Amino acid sequence: MEAPAAANRPMSSSRSATNVLPWMTWAAVACLAAGVFTSVALSAGYHILVIVPGLVCLAWAWRRERWKCLPASAWVLFAIVGWGLLSDFINWGEIQDKLAKPRTTKLKYYFFGILGLVALRHSIQEGVTRRVARLLLHVCFLSIIVSVVCGMVRVWGGFDLVKWEYGDFHRHGGITGPMRFGYGMCLVLPVLLGLWLRRREWDKWYDGRLLAVTLVFGLAGLLLTQTRGALFALLIAMPLAVFLHDRRRGLWIAGGSVCLATVLVVGNLIGAERLSQTLTGNERSIPVRFFKGLKSGDRMSVYTAAVIGIRERPWSGNGMLQFEHRILDIKQRHNLAYPERGASHAHNVFLQSGVDFGVPGLIALVAWFILWGRELCQRRDALGRCFLPLLVAFVLAGQFEYLFDANNSFLIFFAYALSLTLPCEEQEPDSINSRHLPRVQT
């Protein structure tokens, strides 16, 4: 049901403020579109520019609708931030690098998911032209292509176009680090595929040919990083994107993807050398990183240490990103494998949240995923079906990596905000404004 345009206007606000805030928001989105796959510093412009529109619009929304001003998932994000601060306060005496590298500030990503939601909602209500939206999408597409080209030159040419120097590079699919880029691509590629499948209906909002090139380069970049967790998540999320558009084709593609995913899983269970010897008779004929295996590294010992960390402090946790300072002590006290090897995180979104914030924080994170998924399903439109595979990819990839690093935190919380603010319309007008924006479901 559509809300009247007047109901969405901020109360007692000057016309100049309502004109300036949307442009600050779109400038912030431009920084993110250009920087999420190329530069953390450029992406930080998103937070810098969106904080004022976000806080002002949050205050306006609270004055209008009180507790109904945000969807349920956003209130869970508030709870995660609050519990994270409490956890850090309880563990303050043991927290490392409180001043040199304050990890508590990483809670800002969750909070900016809320600020981005209200800022984008207000900006869309004020009206955004097709020209602006098309420009922002094309900036995002081009940034992915440029990043992958730089990664290709690094891997195949041995030259870093950013630092302008030669070197020995491996697993570089883009400008950012291989893990960050690979997992970021597995999140965004299903969304881009969903847009490409609907290119004929939405052809005025983006160039379908440029999007096709972006998809090819993005997939190539992910493969160059050889991130097996990202590849596994992509093999499940991409067929889902097709299925939500065309069930028959989606089922056929899902069959092939499940076969490939099975090979990936079995290959890691038995190891690269043994798999290669079985399939080809040569121990080094397949990409080793994709089938590195679980026994050759210390990943299982990290998972075990994280579970022990949750069990030892089930309520307060250890504090934001403090697992890296406790893992060696846990391994040595419990005689785990590789007692001399540390880890910067638990290589699992859920285990990391549990060891950071305790069981309450873990439950809150799971609740956020469930509520976000429900809110996407409640949209019952093509845009909701474009973003749902991203959520699925995040949950799957999060089993193998902690995805709340800088780049992917920018990406996931912006996608969250955007997915709940875009209008529920199958046919788009020349510009989007409050007449085409229904209330956010709570």
Upper half-sphere CA count for residue 165 (Cβ side, 13 Å): 4
Q: Which of 356, 329, 357, 355 is nearest to 342 (CA)?
A: 329
- CA angle in degrees (0–180, nearest 5) for 126-129-133: 110
Q: Which residue in the block uniquely carries the two structure tokens 């065309």?
A: 246
Cβ-contact 410, 38 below 8 angstroms? no
Domain boundaries, the chain: 24-92+112-423
Please report the sign of the dihedral spanned by the C-alpha atoms of residue 155, residue 161, residue 163, residue 165. positive
User: Could you read off the pLDDT of 384-427 as tens digits, one per residue?
Assistant: 899 999 999 999 999 999 999 889 999 999 999 999 987 655 44
Paired tokens of 36: 């999420």
Residue 110 identity: Y
DSSP designation for 380: -
11 band by pLDDT with thresholds 50, 70 and 90:
very low
Mean pLDDT over the full length of the chain: 86
- CA angle in degrees (0–180, nearest 5) for 193-196-198: 115
| Cα–Cα distance, 125 to 18 (Å, whole number) | 10
Residues facing 432 on adjacent strands: 128
pLDDT at 327: 93
CA distances from 112 to 100, 109, 116, 356, 370 (A): 23, 5, 6, 19, 19
275 band by pLDDT with thresholds 50, 70 and 90:
low
User: Could you read off the pLDDT of 334-389 as tens digits, one per residue?
Assistant: 998 888 888 889 999 999 999 999 999 999 999 999 999 999 999 888 888 999 99
Residue 439 has pLDDT above 50, yes or no: no
The DSSP element (H or E) to which 159 belongs, if any, is strand 159-160
Cβ-contact 358, 207 below 8 angstroms? no
| Cα–Cα distance, 401 to 437 (Å, whole number) | 36
| Cα–Cα distance, 390 to 392 (Å, whole number) | 5
Cβ-contact 327, 299 below 8 angstroms? no
Length of the chain: 442
Q: What is the mean pLDDT of residues 316-333?
A: 92
DSSP letter string, 372-394: HHHHHHHH-SHHHHHHHHHHHHH
- Indicate the pTM of the whole model: 0.88
